[in-house]
Amino acid sequence: MSEYSIGIDLGGTKILTAIVDVTTGSVICSVKKKTKSEKGPDKIIKKIIKSVHQVINDVSIDTSLKITDGELSYGLFSSVNLVCIHDTGNASSSSTAYANSNYMLSQDSASWHYTVGEDVIYQNMSESYTAWHAGSGARVFSLEDTLINASKYGNSIPIITINASGYYCINGEATTLRPYSDLAGTVKDSTVYLTSQITSSGIYYTIGANGNYYLNKTYYNDTFGYICNFGGNKNAIGIETTVNDGSDIFATFHNCAKLVSDILVRKSLTPHEVLLHNSFSGKDCPHAMINGDLVDEFMNMVEIEYMIRKYYSDYTITFESLSPDIINNNGYIIGSVDSDTTVYYKVTITKDDVSNYIILSSTVLS
């Protein structure tokens, strides 16, 4: 089992508090607050204490089931551009985060960076190394200019289709882009595919500095029969979520969202860069999330955790149920109702000993 220490860097402008793996020197998680030395030493001490509590209660990561650097990998990342979400696909009650982490250590054909359960997160390999998890081979994430300006469409999410000549279209407007037939992404695939053959999670896009839509390079995955994104193995941090019977899947999703938000902030990424395994291979994964129609739910969790971590790390946010017979302080419905019932909860935000709260309500259906 790894040993951890809490480190505090008190500077003139910021207080940086972190949990560090003593063996490897890796920073497990960190919290940054402004010093505001003009408010005096008492306020600074309170901030330090609060940041220690916050970092302890933040993402807790166990590194005891971690492979040696360089194993089960294509080598060091050239760049981390994406985060890839999986689930283990095993609903057996014994298929815990611990069991799946041990499984990774026992075989030589697959690897991923983290395994997330309802009450624990295991880091299975260094974030410095690529992994074998996405089914996209050694294809490298690479953006191509569609030459179509996004402002024409209000910078909206593009509708990506394939025309009768096999080229991608943005909102019906043809591009010069199409899938590739080789690993390097240099030979365009001459096959004319159908829009319906694009993987259900879609093709990654972004809007470039020139205002144009850009698409990630794509290929046709023969195993699952879909057009998919480059870069799953070579440019994405891979995260497995457990779906074992008897576990709290929403607690697992919440832990995963916290981990993902931490990775996004550290890697200067955004929630837009969080993709599913399905995006890279066409596989029905994460199965429970996709088939339970919970993808949007999870992505909303990621958005919220990201916003808090990036912009409100100086704040303490608490949730209190004002209808404790029906919902608890985690927002879970714990009581039944005979008719549609309004429940109330209080959200309190605190910074520098100043608190504000709002009382909100929801309807629990009978």
Percentage of the residues of the chain whose pLDDT score is greater than 90: 79
CA-to-CA distance for 7 and 76, rounded, in angstroms?
A: 27
CATH number at residue 11: 3.30.420.40
335 confidence band (pLDDT: 50, 70, 90): very high
Give 55's pLDDT tier (boundaries 50, 70, 90). Answer: low
- Identify whether residues 244 and 220 lie together within a single domain: no
Question: Rounded mean pLDDT of 221-234?
Answer: 98
Mean pLDDT calculated for residue range 72-84: 98
The pLDDT of 285-295, averaged and rounded, is: 98
Residue 67 maps to a domain: no
Question: What band does 3 get if pLDDT is binned at 50, 70 and 90?
Answer: low
Least confident of 42-56, 223-237, 328-342: 42-56
Are residues 179 and 132 located together in one domain of the fold? no
Quote the number of domains for the chain.
4
Report whether pLDDT(187) > 70.
yes
| Residues 204 and 151 grouped into a single domain | yes
Mean pLDDT of 175-194: 98
Q: What is the mean pLDDT of residues 234-238?
A: 98
Q: What is the 3-state secondary structure (H, E, C) of the chain?
A: CCCEEEEEEECCCEEEEEEEECCCCCEEEEEEEECCHHHCHHHHHHHHHHHHHHHHCCCCEECCCCCCCCCCCCCECCCCCEEEEEECCCCCCCCCHHHHHHHHHHCCCCCCCEEECCCCEEECCCCCECCCCCCCCCCCCCEEEEEEEHHHHCCCCCCEEECCCCCEEECCEECCCCCECCCCCCCECCCCCCHHHECCCCCCEEECCCCEEEEECEEEECCCCEEEECCHHHHEEEEEECCCCCCCHHHHHHHHHHHHHHHHHHCCCCHHHEEEHHHHHCCCCCHHHHHCCCHHHHHHHHHHHHHHHHHCCCCEEEEEECCCCCECCCCCECCCCCCCEEEEEEEEEEECCEEEEEEEEEEECC
Tell me, yes or no, whether 176 and 251 share the same domain.
Answer: no
pLDDT in tens, 90-112: 999 999 999 999 999 999 999 99
- Does 253 share its domain with 111? yes
Q: Which domain holds residue 148?
A: 143-229
- CATH classification at residue 115: 3.40.80.10
Does residue 30 carry a pLDDT above 80? Answer: no
Quote the pLDDT of residue 92: 97
Using the predicted structure, report yes or no on whether residue 44 has a pLDDT greater than 90: no
Mean pLDDT check: name the lowest of 2-11, 87-96, 269-278.
2-11
Residues 244, 205 share a domain: no
Residue 104: the pLDDT is: 98
Residue 75: inside a domain: no
Q: Band of the pLDDT at 1, cuts 50, 70, 90?
A: very low
The domain boundary, picked from 229, 261, 291, lies at 229
Whose tokens are 């008492």? That residue is 42
Q: Using 50, 70 and 90 to split pLDDT, how confident is the model at 24?
A: low
Average pLDDT in the chain: 93
